[in-house]
Amino acid sequence: MKIRVGQGYDVHKWVEGRPCILGGIQIPSDKGPQGHSDADVVCHVLCDALLGAANMRNIGYHFSDKDPQWKGVASTELLKKVMEMIREKGFELSNADVTIILDTPKLNAHIPAMKENLAQVMKIDVEDISIKATTSEGMGFVGRGEGIAATGVALLVKS
């Protein structure tokens, strides 16, 4: 059995009047992340972690923000495609772990829905995905309310 690990990191600027989509779930907020797609940092770090573990480059390589077909796309669709790509290479996800970094809005009440949604999108057991939220304690661009960040890892197995 082959075991591979990959990591992902993503940041997006907060903008007024944009929906805040995290883990494919709309979170009540007066701001949302700016991006070519829906700018869902949770899905983006998962895509990058999965692609990295499979040695398949990164999300920008496969879904360029210069390509109009990805304009406004739900990042859950990108994650579905990435899961298909890694499975075509013979990999299966063992587990993934994501940390979302933002001071507001508070996310604890939304994490179970994010996990359920992502488990369905990725066709995995909900126990195989961990999502945590933390703050930057008022420091840096996240603490000033200028943006959101996330990091994640994925462990793939290949028989």
64 assigned binding-site residue: yes
Query: Is 29 a known ligand-binding residue?
Result: no
Say if residue 60 carries a ligand binding annotation.
yes
- 3-state DSSP of 40-54: CHHHHHHHHHHHHHC
Residue 136 annotated in ligand binding: yes
User: Which residue stretches of 2-95 are H helix?
Assistant: 41-53, 59-62, 75-88
Q: 79, 122 in Cβ contact below 8 A? A: yes
Annotated ligand binding at 66? The verdict is yes
16 in a labelled binding site: no
The whole-angstrom separation of Cα 73 and Cα 52 is 22
Q: Three-class SS of residue 71?
A: coil
CB under 8 Å to 112, separation ≥6 — which residues? none
Annotated ligand binding at 62? The verdict is: no
Q: Is 127 annotated as a binding residue?
A: no
Q: How far apart are CA 54 and CA 96, in angstroms?
A: 14
Q: Is 65 annotated as a binding residue?
A: yes
Task: State yes or no: 44 annotated in a binding site.
Answer: yes
37 is in an annotated binding site: yes
Q: Where are the alpha helices (DSSP H) in the chain?
A: 41-53, 59-62, 75-88, 111-122, 140-143
User: Is 134 annotated as contributing to ligand binding?
Assistant: yes
Residue 110 in marked binding region: no
Binding-site residues: 10-12, 36-37, 44, 58-60, 63-67, 134-137, 141, 144
Binding-site residues for a divalent metal cation: 10, 12, 44
